[in-house]
Structure 1
């Protein structure tokens, strides 16, 4: 159906070199978009571009370099053309109990998952406002729904994302710029393996929480994101969408 097509649209995906970001990039390209993937690891980005084909380009950029973001957005618009879609998917992981988490570690996680998201969303929304058109996706987390051990900085950032979304929706909707958030469940990515491969009790607890008893795939988030940026969802704005196999409602 054409209403789900992304033909003629350009998307910027941070954290697009692996995991969920790569899954979203693959889905968008299949739907007809041209995609720019962003990350710090140039080798990983190059490998992703080779797998994604000619409709993918990449740029090595550290999203925590907040001062450089305005120039990055200007350069991206110059090279890519109009930016129709922004996906904020860059991420990092810190597995530590709250009492052992230092202030600098806490801030480092917030820089990646919250401060950079605000800066990128702010700067790209300026471009979208001029065109009176655009769609932005924020990646939240199951930790914004339920309390989990050893992720205090991550869960704080991912919960704050929702306040950021709601406030910016209230300001940008009049300019036809939509912002929605996805809360991925436990998705089979390198970040998940880093958190669970050496922690069997944690992995078992997670799987027992998911009604289907299995992890999701990056493309599952990609298809949800596709709906939220396509014309099919043109009246959907400010939504918080768990894509979790039923985990949030599981017992």
Structure 2
């Protein structure tokens, strides 16, 4: 492979902030980005899990305990990271939660709790980092969307509303900031082998088989499948990719 090709997919010299970075998809993103040369900064609520994740990553990885729903702290944490670590060129809005209930049982608080993490929290942190990226004329922002951004699934109205909101947020923000060197995209995972996925299907073998049957590749995704897709979206290879959501689902969307 030529040096030019390697450089097109390299994140050397980049600094990436990843919310929900201690576990699951966020940690996979961190591992892949670090392998591609980026310095990664993990944000999550659980300080113990954060520390463990940082130790596993090694190198220049750092972590900051942060609840994205504490929107008043978004500006503070962004400023602290920039002061202590340096310029931030990548932001991955990956923190999330989930509530699966019929509408009769899903309270308004259940619904808004999901929106607070995904939509309001992501907005507040993005708002905190965007001026810095625009000033430097460089940045890549990636939101973790979902298949539910495109198709209907029962019992997850809050989650579906939040993930669908990301599509509009991505398009609107891309239209606003891309002239200043900041690209905005989303990755839309399918069924990925994470603790959240196992929680949903391990006690329901028929559902697991049904999901597998709707995935043309006949397997569930690995967290790193999402991590490498995010590396691509943040790399020079994707320098003209802007305002879109990239499904990474093994073809599941065409199986519905």
Is the 8 Å Cα contact of residues 49 and 56 (structure 1) preserved in structure 2?
Answer: yes
Aligned to 1:215: 220
Aligned to 1:114: 119
Counterpart-to-counterpart distance in 2, 1:230 and 1:72: 25
For 2:75, which of 52, 70, 75 is the aligned residue? 70
Partner secondary structure for residue 23 of structure 1: helix
**1:85-137, CA deviations, whole angstroms, 9 ceiling, x for partnerless residues?**
00011111111112211011100000111111111111111110110110000
What is the CA distance between 1:202 and its match in structure 2? 2.4
RMSD, aligned CA: 1.0
Counterpart-to-counterpart distance in 2, 1:238 and 1:210: 26
Partner secondary structure for residue 171 of structure 1: helix
Counterpart-to-counterpart distance in 1, 2:137 and 2:7: 21
TM-score (norm 2): 0.96
TM-score (norm 1): 0.98
Aligned to 1:8: 13
Counterpart-to-counterpart distance in 2, 1:193 and 1:112: 21
Counterpart-to-counterpart distance in 1, 2:159 and 2:21: 19
User: Where in structure 1 do 4 or more consecutive aligned residues deviate above 6 Å?
Assistant: none
Q: How many residues align?
A: 251
Alignment of 1:202 with 2:207, yes or no, is yes
Counterpart-to-counterpart distance in 1, 2:77 and 2:22: 18
Matches within 5 A, 1:17-56: 17-56=22-61
Matches within 5 A, 1:1-251: 1-251=6-256
What is the CA distance between 1:204 and its match in structure 2? 2.0
Counterpart-to-counterpart distance in 1, 2:184 and 2:91: 9
Counterpart-to-counterpart distance in 2, 1:101 and 1:225: 32
What 5-or-longer segments of structure 1 have no aligned partner? none
Partner secondary structure for residue 64 of structure 2: strand
Partner secondary structure for residue 147 of structure 1: coil
Counterpart-to-counterpart distance in 2, 1:174 and 1:43: 40
Partner secondary structure for residue 167 of structure 2: helix
Counterpart-to-counterpart distance in 2, 1:36 and 1:69: 15
Aligned to 2:3: none
Counterpart-to-counterpart distance in 2, 1:198 and 1:123: 41
Counterpart-to-counterpart distance in 2, 1:183 and 1:207: 17
What is the CA distance between 1:201 and its match in structure 2? 2.9
Is the 8 Å Cα contact of residues 95 and 195 (structure 1) preserved in structure 2?
Answer: no
**1:120-167, CA deviations, whole angstroms, 9 ceiling, x for partnerless residues?**
111111110110110000010001111111111000000011111111
Counterpart-to-counterpart distance in 1, 2:45 and 2:230: 23
Is the 8 Å Cα contact of residues 64 and 111 (structure 1) preserved in structure 2?
Answer: yes
Partner secondary structure for residue 209 of structure 2: helix
